[in-house]
Every structure is written in C-alpha cells, then in structure tokens.
Amino acid sequence: MDKKLKRKWVDALRSGKYKQGLAQLRTTLNAFCCLGVLCDVQGRKWRKNINGEYVIGSGEQEDQDGEVNAKLHADVGGYQRAKKLMSMNDGFSFKEIADYIEESL
C-alpha cells in the first residue's frame, strides 16, 4: 500500500471526523465503513442514487460495485485483506482498525 495514502487513511480513521457504520461504504445516515473512509480520503466523488444510497462516481450501482471493489482490493493488498478489514469493521473501532492497518498493511 502506498505509504502516503496509508498515513492519510490511518489519520482519518483516528480523527473522529467519521461516524462508523456497518455493511456499506457509506450509509444513508452518512456513516462509513473503514473502506468507505479510504474512498473518501482518496477523494472519490460520492453521489446519492435513486434510492438515496451513497455510491461512488456516475455509474449505476450495479455497474460500479465490481469496479470500486477491485480498486479497493488493489489498494489494500488483495481480496483477503479487504475481506478482513470489512469483517473487522463490524466488531472493532476505527482506532483499532487503524492500529491493524499500521501494523499489517
């Protein structure tokens, strides 16, 4: 993982700026999973789709899921690491996840 991006991501997770949410990159209540924070730190453009859900870019949700996921997997070092982070998000705080990222990525 790019060291500058990793530092920005870890700092953002520890900042208190982001409310932690579950099961989505960004929820309709403006809460984020740890990978959603990464997308935000990267400057990805969020928009609301017709259902009021946050999505990235201008494509339809179905079109962008694979594209967004592939980029996230590459950024964090593969599918298994992304899956680990997704599962951690549902049981650990952002600060604990930041510690893991610093030590493991």
Residue 4: predicted pLDDT: 96
Residue 62: predicted pLDDT: 44
Q: HEC profile for the chain?
A: CCHHHHHHHHHHHHCCCCCECCCCCECCCCCECHHHHHHHHCCCCEEECCCCCEEECCCCHHHHHHHHHHHHHHHHCCHHHHHHHHHHHCCCCHHHHHHHHHHHC
pLDDT block averages, 10 residues each, the chain of length 105? 95 98 93 96 90 78 64 89 93 97 94
Residue 33: predicted pLDDT: 96
